[in-house]
Amino acid sequence: MTEKQENKHSKHPMKKWDKVKGENSWTMFKVISEFVMGFETLNKLGPCVSIFGSARTKPDHPYYKLAVDIARLLTDEGYGVITGGGPGIMEAGNKGAHIYGGKSVGLNIDLPFEQNHNQYIDDDNNLDFQYFFVRKVMFVKYAQAFVALPGGFGTLDELFEVLTLVQTGKISKVPIILVGTDYWKGMKSWIVDTVFEKEQNISEGDLDLLPITDSPEEVVELINRFYNEKTRELSPNYEL
């Protein structure tokens, strides 16, 4: 019996789609329009820092205030601030840039809950995205550093996306800074003890990609030290 005949008489036939939508090819035009919108807006900004963190953090929380201070100091150094455009830590990052006269960018995502753009985003830098992957490109391409404050799955997704791109050389090496020692130290210990030492799934040099601090001043110092030591020009991270 041939392989074709075996498949024909198999007790486990191939699965089939219940239904297939016909507009998948046309979706590409919507994707392209989002890329065009993002590139044309963000190309004009100059160097920025992306700040990640939870949408659920309240304005009276210490992490919210920490994000405001970090954005303020980044503004003093001449950086724009990019966030996901929503409430919580994202709002705090935009607030710190906005009230101290810096560029404040919001990359909003269309979600069924939780996401509404905050009031501290520049009108001409308030962008709305339908597709997460397009939004991620904008986060990464135009940031000279990444600052991750405590957050949930979205923050972790963004953080490990950037770590992977740096580790694999798909983007330029840039500072990636975790803010909130109590929050991040358990994850860092797991990465060191299990991912590196026990399973050897990363290299020793990869451990240097994740400094942790509680100090807004140290965040700026780490970024400045990186660029002073590298003495390289500030530019977008990669060309598509």
Residue 20 confidence (pLDDT): 64
Distance of CA 10 to the CA centre of its chain: 47
Residue 214 confidence (pLDDT): 98
| Domain annotation for the chain: domains and CATH numbers | 29-227 (3.40.50.450)
142 backbone dihedrals φ, ψ, rounded to 5° = -105, 10
Residue 8 confidence (pLDDT): 55
Q: In which residue ranges of the chain is pLDDT below 70?
A: 1-10, 17, 19-23, 112-115, 230-233, 237-240
DSSP result, the chain: --HHHHHHT-SSPPP--S---S-HHHHHHHHHHHHHHHHHHHTTT-SEEEEE--TT--TTSHHHHHHHHHHHHHHHTT-EEEE-SSSTHHHHHHHHHHTTT--EEEEEE--SSS----TTS-GGGEEEES-HHHHHHHHHHTEEEEEE-S--HHHHHHHHHHHHHHHTTSS----EEEE-HHHHHHHHHHIIIIIIIIT--S-GGGGGG--EES-HHHHHHHHHHHHHHH------S---
pLDDT tens-place string over residues 117-146: 899 999 999 999 999 999 999 999 999 999
Residue 215 confidence (pLDDT): 98
Q: How far is CA 191 from CA 24, 32, 63, in A?
A: 39, 37, 23
Exposure on the CB side of residue 68, measured as CA atoms within 13 A: 17
Q: What is the pTM of this model?
A: 0.87
Beta-strand relationship, 126-129 and 143-148? unpaired
Residue 25 confidence (pLDDT): 75
